[in-house]
Amino acid sequence: MTDPLTMTFSEMEEFANQQQKGRFAGDKNLMIKFHMEPMMDTQKSKEEGRPIYRDVEHVRILIPGSKESVVDKVVTEIERNRFRDLYAKWKANEQMDFSGTPLESCTWIGKSLVEEMKFFNIRTVEQLSELSDTHAQKFPGISKYRDLAKAYIAQAEKGKAASDLAAAMDAQKKENEDLREMIRGLQETLARLEGSAPPSTPPKPRGRRASA
C-alpha cells in the first residue's frame, strides 16, 4: 500500500474516490430522487411581514422492498458527490428556484388553479401579482386573482409599515427613557457634590487708610 505521506495531490484524490466507491458500493440498489421543498425563510418573513419561502434541495433515498427504509433530507455536499451523475442530470432539468409566498398558502385560491398556474411557472403570490395582461389571457378569470394577490401584498406591506413605525416609536421611547435616566443621575451627582462642598468664607473687609 502506498504511503499517504508520499502521495501527490492527484494520487490522494484518486485514493479518496476509491475509498468512497467502496463505502457506497451498495448505492446501485437504491432508489434516488432529488426534489425541491419549500422552506420558510424566518428572517425574510419577519422583514416582509408575510410568509416567505425559498426552495431547498432535498433527496429521497429508498431501499426497494422496504417501506421503513426511507430517508428524505436536505442535500449536502456528501449527497452531491455520492450521487454525482444523478444530481447533475436532475439539476439540468429542474425548475428554477423561487423565493416568495407560495400560492398554496393562500386560502383564497383553489388547489386546482394553483396546480394549473404551476404548469406556467406561476408559483408565488408575487409572481401572480405581476402577471402581465398578455399572459393573463391564458387564464380566464385570472384577473380577479391577480387583483387579490396585489391586495394581499399591499396589505402585508401596510402591516409591515405599521410594525416598523411601532418599532421606531418603541426605540425612541427607550432612548428618551435612557436620556431621562442619565439626566437624573447627573442631577443626583451634582446634588451630592454641592452638599459635600465646605461653606464659603466671606471676604474680610479692608480697613480704610488714614487721611494724610
> pLDDT digits over 142-160, tens only?
889 999 999 999 888 887 7
- Least confident window among 90-104, 121-135, 177-191, 194-208: 194-208
* Residue 19 CB neighbours (<10 A): 10
CA gap 193, 202 in Å, rounded? 20
φ, ψ (nearest 5 deg) of residue 122: -105, 105
Indicate whether 155 and 77 sit together in one domain. Answer: no
Indicate whether 6 and 92 sit together in one domain. Answer: yes
C-alpha cell at 57: 434541495
Question: Is residue 194 classed exposed, middle or buried when 0-12, 13-18 and 19+ CB atoms within 10 A define those classes?
Answer: exposed
Indicate whether 93 and 8 sit together in one domain. Answer: yes
CA gap 35, 55 in Å, rounded? 10
Answer whether residue 205 is part of any domain. no
**Domain end among 100, 122, 149:** 100
Answer whether residue 201 is part of any domain. no
State the pLDDT at residue 210. Answer: 53
CA gap 71, 91 in Å, rounded? 20
Q: Is the pLDDT of residue 192 over 70?
A: yes
Which one has a higher pLDDT value, 83 or 140?
83
State the pLDDT at residue 4. Answer: 45
Indicate whether 94 and 152 sit together in one domain. Answer: no
Answer whether residue 149 is part of any domain. yes
Contact 124, 50 (CB under 8 A): no
Domain that holds residue 52: 1-100
Closest CA to 49 of 202, 166, 193, 146: 166
* Residue 141 CB neighbours (<10 A): 8
70-76's contacts with Cβ under 8 Å and 24+ in sequence apart are 75/34
Q: Per-residue pLDDT tens for 6-44?
A: 545 555 455 455 555 545 656 777 888 898 888 888 888
CA gap 189, 45 in Å, rounded? 47
Answer whether residue 197 is part of any domain. no
166-174's contacts with Cβ under 8 Å and 24+ in sequence apart are none
Answer whether residue 209 is part of any domain. no
Closest CA to 130 of 149, 114, 111: 149
Angle among Cα 130, 115, 44 to the nearest 5 degrees reads: 50
Which one has a higher pLDDT value, 207 or 142?
142
> In the chain, how many domains are there?
2
Indicate whether 25 and 79 sit together in one domain. Answer: yes
Contact 52, 39 (CB under 8 A): no
State the pLDDT at residue 10. Answer: 59
**Domain end among 72, 100, 128:** 100
Confidence of residue 53 (pLDDT cuts 50, 70, 90): confident
C-alpha cell at 59: 433527496
**Domain end among 53, 75, 100:** 100
Indicate whether 72 and 155 sit together in one domain. Answer: no
Answer whether residue 48 is part of any domain. yes
Please state whether 107 falls in left (phi above 0), alpha (psi between -120 and 50) or beta: alpha
C-alpha cell at 39: 422552506
- Least confident window among 17-21, 174-178, 192-196: 17-21
What is the average pLDDT across 45-68?
A: 81
